Structure 1
């Protein structure tokens, strides 16, 4: 009995390419799934080319990448509104004409309901084919200023701190010089539509300006192209594979870059083109194969069985990849890291390498370990940090997903993690050898602001669930940035408690309720607990003891902290002045409030910021946690204070 002899692997690839390209040639005249790009409606707004409505019926072929409009719920009214998303922020479409589009920042409009909004970000268009029109002007907001010049208007808002004020002014080319950098702590530029030449009451009228939004034009293709297409009975569209490729979809199912007149072609000619294309492709692949001598293993990933993990990540990348950060190939990753030449560090889920982009920017590339890192961790990282844009959140510049080859590209942080700056093994505790107490206070405040942005500043709230020194990175100016969102949890603004099937985090920083629901539900207060543990470690009030050593909870919550607080003594041996001691006392008291076992007794992270920035006199020493004076006991498997909590509350 004769048996079939299997074809060689490369012959199978050539055969596959032949049928694939021939099929494309046959299918080219009938792009029926994409040729119908009708005008869509959302609450009375007519959406048409180059914009397109994001739904199950409309394809991205109907418009340009990044110009999709989603008819979704707005944070202002809760009603369905036409929304656009770019630069990490959401905007609702106020007006759309044949020449311009008017957008309103959804966050600004939401805050403007209180008549005292806090403008916290500008408008980033990125690579979108959009530009500001001449009808706009720029408003420059400055916060926490010691001095306000005469040409600026003071904002009479309650967020002014003490004698410091906030102000706003119109950016003009003939403005007098003023040293904003030394007089104010923060600046935000906001573009709005100019409707008046009088700005005498800009300190209050800027709220109305934010509500009016800003106006944009687009640079995609000439109006004549689309007009000729529609006159010939076609519909305007776009080829996503090319940034400048205009497409005209014709009634017979074909497409052209011009118009539909004379576009019909007999099937024999198209078949001939398909066969010739297939033959040329096979010859080209064969030549490349002979030159490069690719092995069969190179192509295994293209045809191997996809796991459920691969499918979930692939679905995520298709749905959100083009709307968040840039996607790189694994070849790009190897090129930017010089074949992984410089290793920066290694963790449980991957290795970090130093790299450089084409424009010369240094980056840190985290290559995930395929045997340990799950697809969910990859999705968490891209979905959460890809939505953020804040000075205290590390920037995700791109990602790579070639199935088992997965990597994340971040901005490079020259000073590494906070962990190496914390001197937590001295006895008695001392401040860092490299960072003074005032700089440590600024680091703690910056981390709190980053957490506040995650909890309140994003459209979708984010729980980090792994706040620890190792995940706090410092740039060249020692500005702290929260990193590593692999364990993050996303939830809507309407949710107060987050459901989780398993505990997340690092032993020693996990809030009690994360692993034992008897303490309450998991919420933003869980990040507050981890933050409290972090700043106690920063200040030296909590030691990071080796696992397995005999110790008690007094190591983590020592009585001497409370004794010195009550006697108003200097807390740390490294502190030499009253001002430095005030920083240490303030951070210590805030840290002790944050680690209260009951989540209801912990402050929110925005309250933590107010405590850190407020007066020392109004701070009260919190009650001692009930486990702070527990008797000495043998080391538990956790080797952390949570082990005692489990023994008291586990059921």
Structure 2
């Protein structure tokens, strides 16, 4: 039967192997078959079970066209570019891609996730199927969106639709979307909004609050969908609770305890195994002492004669 000390060592070994030896490559990059790489903090939903390496809201599906798809609060978008240096993502509304005269259906709503509109964007507002003429200077109807009943639709850059409250009740819908500034080259929004919407808009991602401590320790934030807990994956694939620095300290303490256990267990056996060397050394010392005495006696005999 093992002594209590060795049982404790065995327990530490089990804890170490369970908590600090997970080398699952769940942070490996992937893609959907096109040129948009899916890397941290984004991750591919297909085939993902249990832990995910990335922000839980940043899971991407793969479309039949090969584009990653991101689901926001009110709509679904193709991901046409992810800039991992600038921390930005370019999105295109699935319903309007490659449409020369798109009809936006939903407002762009980000929701409570770590994304924000980029300085590269401009917001535009559509007023669809209006029965009266807007009281806005320079209001021109969108020709391709005039319906069979003669109702007209308009688009304005947000902030330029002054006086809209006096006539918007006569419109069927008001929808605000984002496009990139550089896609409205000549300022002709009426004729350029279709191409601009097909190019999408840019969102910047911010560091998730729950992942700050992990990322500041050079770790990768992970999420367990079953337990709904946030974890931290370090560069050596060790999974810890919050921070790689804390994990390294804990691992070092446990490794030190295991070393003590190992040497405590081995030392008596080493002593027993190599005890003959010690005995041999003691025998050699006795022989040398005897020879020293004999030599001294012989030398004394020579001197006396």
Q: CA deviation at 1:71?
A: 2.2
In structure 2, C-alpha distance between the alignment counterparts of 1:70 and 1:196, rounded to whole Å: 27
Post-superposition shift, 1:138?
0.9
Note closer, same or farther for the CA distance 1:227–1:267 as it changes in structure 2 (3 Å cut): closer
Q: Which residue of 1 aligns with 2:297?
A: none
State the match for 2:157 in structure 1. Answer: 170
Give per-residue Cα distances to partners, 1:365-395, cap 9 Å, x unaligned: xxxxxxxxxxxxxxxxxxxxxxxxxxxxxxx
Match in the other structure for 1:123: 108
Q: Is the 8 A contact 1:104 1:210 kept in 2?
A: yes
2:213, 2:243 within 8 Å by CA — same for their partners in 1? no
> For residue 140 of structure 1, what is the aligned residue in structure 2?
125
Answer yes or no: is 1:207 the counterpart of 2:212.
no
Given the two structures, how large is their TM-score scaled by the length of structure 1?
A: 0.32
* Segments of 4+ moved more than 6 angstroms: 241-244, 267-270
- What residue in structure 1 maps to residue 70 of structure 2? 84
Q: Is the 8 A contact 1:142 1:186 kept in 2?
A: yes
Counterpart position of 1:248: 233
User: How big is the shift at 1:198?
Assistant: 5.4
CA apart distance, 1:143:
1.2
Q: Residue 254 and residue 245 in structure 1: after superposition, are their counterparts in 2 closer, same or farther (change >3 A)?
A: closer
Counterpart of 2:144 in 1: which secondary structure?
A: coil
How many residue pairs match? The answer is 234
1:162-197 superposed Cα distances (whole Å, 9 cap, x missing partner): 33211111112x653232333322111111111166
How does 1:564-643 map onto structure 2 within 5 Å?
none
Shift in Å at residue 246 of structure 1? 6.3
Highest Rg: 1 or 2?
2
2:57 to 66, 69, 90: 66
TM-score by length of 2: 0.65
SS of residue in 1 equivalent to 2:52: helix
Task: Provide the secondary structure at the position in 2 that maps to 1:139.
Answer: strand
Task: Tell me how far apart the structure 2 counterparts of residues 210 and 50 of structure 1 sit (CA, whole Å).
Answer: 26
- 1:76-97 per-residue CA deviation (whole Å, 9 max, x = no partner) reads xxx2211112225221111111
Task: Determine the structure 2 residue equivalent to 1:187.
Answer: 174
CA distance in 1, matches of 2:149, 2:69: 38
> Aligned to 1:236, which of 204, 213, 220?
220
Larger RCO (CA within 8 A; separation ≥ 6) = 2
5+ residue gaps, structure 1, are 1-22, 74-78, 230-234, 271-651
Classify the secondary structure of the residue corresponding to 2:31: strand
- 1:154 matches 2:154: no
Q: Is the 8 A contact 2:91 2:202 kept in 1?
A: yes
- Deviation of the 1:158 alpha carbon: 5.1
Q: Is the 8 A contact 1:168 1:202 kept in 2?
A: yes
Deviation at 1:50, TM superposition (A): 1.2
Distance 2:79 2:123 in 1: 20
Seen in structure 2, the aligned counterparts of structure 1 residues 215 and 224 have a Cα distance that, compared at 3 Å, is farther
The 3 A distance-change label for structure 1 pair 246 and 194 is farther
Name stretches of at least 5 consecutive residues in structure 2 with no aligned partner: 1-13, 259-305
Higher relative strand content: 2
Structure 1 SS opposite 2:68: strand
Match for residue 97 of structure 1 among 65, 83, 96 = 83
| Contact 2:234 2:244 survives alignment (8 Å) | no
**Aligned pair in 2 of structure 1 residues 224, 211: CA closer, same or farther (>3 Å)?**
farther
CA–CA distance in 2 between the matches of 1:220 and 1:176?
A: 36
Alignment of 1:387-402 (within 5 A): none
Matched residues in 2 for 1:56 and 1:237: separation? 19
Q: CA deviation at 1:147?
A: 0.6
